[in-house]
Structure 1
């Protein structure tokens, strides 16, 4: 489906999933000139809302809700909250509250928090209800065990310490963020935990619940008033299994470079989709806010026939942890040359990854200008002068050759 002419005024567009990707799809369809019937289906009863503040302002009690400031009624969007997708057939979306016929469908059901067996009562942090429940539990003096030293684990540990809790973080890998960064960088972040008064236990995993706490695989028993599991998310696509749309082995919905699935008129966006990236030379599945934002807009443009080229952005994400702003753009590989820009002992530093003289990725800690300039260099594939790029006194854009 490549042009708006393929949608007549009576065609029905259904967007299933009311997170960032789904909301952006619906919003951009209207802003792009689509005036036909449009429904936005969300499993939660809440109005569509933003998720990044959940582990920050909502958990801290600075905000109660993060609903998007979008007037769905004024836009003529039929907002169907509290309705969960249960299956897909040709031209019909099955939900737990009946069938929804469609002429074009955008799948944007996102991801759901991974859990661990053997930890009854353990909390996760994925929804606004999760955040409210956890916020009530984070009172001074409470013993909190967090499983996972990834992005969400670090952010939750930051807030829990700020609220006066005793925090232990358990990480099966040898260092924080093992799945995203080299061990030498994760080791630097381990120092942040210590400085914040967080007890970080790496190289051990949770064996299960035991005697008012958790038992680790190394035999250690950790008393806990609350256990929080933050080990990432899995695509919320189980409802598609057994239907006409085949999923990738990791559960994502495979799409082409226009976000179209193998089914005519069906697209996918956000955390639940995997797309081919010529930039990375691989198929990517990205579970971050920036991808949800841009892929939702791209899905709308693809339906309207206005998508300008293949969908292949520079991946980007950020995290606020232990008083620092950590930002990452691009995608590095083990063979890429790692280049330091500044010292990790300083107030801010950046790590660059170079491949064939060009920037492929960067990690910036409290250096937002490096991130902004580096992201543009990655996007353009611009070669850089390594000596100038390594000098933190030289603007990164000035290192371009």
Structure 2
């Protein structure tokens, strides 16, 4: 029998997993569980054009795709517990029994009844009709125990295969209850209202969220100070040389950047730093990283426990058979270095989802590609592909680091291992493709 799949997390990683499963021919029931009431939307836009223009945030899928996915959507339902390998019993709720038209008229749903359900009377979360070779791949089948997902309202959803895609949450700044954070659509709406009346915005954390909000705030005429504890923010991802060029971009756009700074106190009108510096701020945004949303499932499950994300192998498999993890909550094994990393970028979420879908369906895995991310700041596009930390040298191949556009190659023994560009997408794309081809040949 075809197994049922529950995807916990209905944002980019979860939706991408459902898309990839269908694209690879998986015919069985898929249930997507999300804690937000909204259909999946583009989160990168929240710190960019949404803050600046208030333009509606685009959905990641439309109604026609929703029908094609033929999945059960359970939105506005937070997962609070996970029991691997539990047996189905009478007090367990099928996902079909939780349909909004039965229980919750406020939830959003986009699904149709599968042909196999109409024929056999099965529910969306619990039935399937195809004999597969998943047992040979080490995955549970209809004859094996069910995994149980407990929801905040006390009900339980069960499935034979579970994909954990619960993302991450902002790391909080202790002692500053009135600080703002940016992670979801509701955060962005509150922040946009705040910026409409703010004169001085203090941003704690000069990473990509902080930098993008600084850019949007300057576009709205708000004075901005970026505060970071690092000597050169962004050097871990970009290297010191390129990070310095990005710092200069802030300065050219009127943003004050304070580095190696430690916060002593946050008052209603100012941020006080150790050493006596006072930063005027009638609004405060904190962007000091994130914490993966893993506690709900790892509590009581030591095989899922990790300090920084669900640990998975290079196929996205956790230590529990039939349980996978993708996206911001996953700590993925690098097939080359065998180290574990957690990547919070759009490209990583889609790539991991495709890898997991291949593992579940027994189809060919996607080709390995270079890590990639982008950022929009002050009307410019910053792009990075590859692994700058593996480089021993840096070479500027176009533009100038102190100019309005540049492209640099990070090299190891004269071999490119990464490329970064500011406002030069065509040249960047050429070198990114070369990195991808080199990885495909090597693996």
Give the secondary-structure state (helix, strand or coil) at the position aligned to 1:290: helix
Counterpart in 2 of 1:57? 49
Counterpart residue number, 2:325: 268
What residue number does 1:378 align with?
A: 435
Check whether the contact 2:298–2:305 (CA below 8 A) recurs between aligned residues. Answer: no
- Matched residues in 2 for 1:59 and 1:295: separation? 29
- Structure 2 residue aligned with 1:320: 376
Tell me if 1:89 matches 2:83. yes
Give the whole-Å Cα distance in 1 for the aligned partners of 2:308 and 2:194.
33
Deviates further, 19-28 or 171-180: 171-180
Question: Residue 310 of structure 2 is aligned with which of 237, 250, 253?
Answer: 253
User: Among 19, 25, 29, which residue is 1:27 paired with?
Assistant: 19
Residue from 56, 62, 67 that aligns with 2:59: 67
C-alpha offsets along residues 368-393 of structure 1, whole Å, 9 cap, x if unaligned?
123222222223338xxxxxxxxxxx
Q: Does 1:205 align with 2:262?
A: yes
Given the alignment, which residue of 49, 55, 73 partners 1:79?
Answer: 73
CA distance in 2 between partners of 1:164 and 1:147 (Å): 19
Residues 37, 28 of structure 1: CA spacing in aligned structure 2 closer, same or farther, 3 A cutoff? same
Larger radius of gyration: 2
Cα drift, residue 217 of structure 1 = 1.9
Secondary structure of residue in 2 paired with 1:34: coil
Contact residue 202 and residue 284 of structure 2 kept, 8 A: yes
Task: Report runs of 4+ in structure 1 exceeding 4 Å deviation.
Answer: none
CA deviations 1:255-276 (Å, max 9, x no partner) are 1121111111111111111222
Give aligned pairs, total.
Answer: 373
**2:198·2:282 contact (CA, 8 Å) conserved in 1?**
no
Deviation readout 1:85-109 (Å, 9 max, x if unpaired) = 1121121111213111111100011
Matched-pair contact (CA < 8 Å) for 2:299–2:305: no
**2:305 and 2:371 mapped to 1: Cα distance?**
20
Contact preservation (8 Å) 1:175, 1:186 = yes
Comparing 110-119 with 156-165, which one deviates more in the overlay?
110-119
| Paired position in structure 2 for 1:39 | 31
The answer for the alignment partner of 1:307 in structure 2 is: 364
Q: Indicate conservation of the 8 Å contact 2:391/2:411, yes or no.
A: no
- Compare 259-268 and 246-255 and name the one that shifted more: 246-255
Q: In structure 2, which of residues 1, 4, 7 is the aligned counterpart of residue 15 of structure 1? A: 7
Helix, strand or coil for the counterpart of 1:139?
helix
| Aligned alpha-carbon RMSD (Å) | 2.0
Counterpart pick for 2:354 among 277, 280, 297? 297
* Structure richer in helix, relative to its length: 2
8 Å CA contact 1:87, 1:94 repeated in 2: yes
Residue 109 (1) aligns with residue 173 (2): no
SS of the residue aligned with 2:6? strand
CA distance in 1 between counterparts of 2:72 and 2:434 reads 41
Question: What is the aligned counterpart of 1:332 among 388, 391, 397?
Answer: 388
Question: Normalising to structure 1: TM-score of the pair?
Answer: 0.87
TM-score, normalised via structure 2 length = 0.79
Stretch moving more, 181-190 or 161-170: 181-190
In the other structure, the counterpart of 1:168 is 225
Aligned mates of 1:284, 1:326 — CA distance in 2:
22
Deviations 1:106-126 (A, max 9, x none): 001111111110111101111
| Residues 382-397 of structure 1: pairs in structure 2 closer than 5 A | none
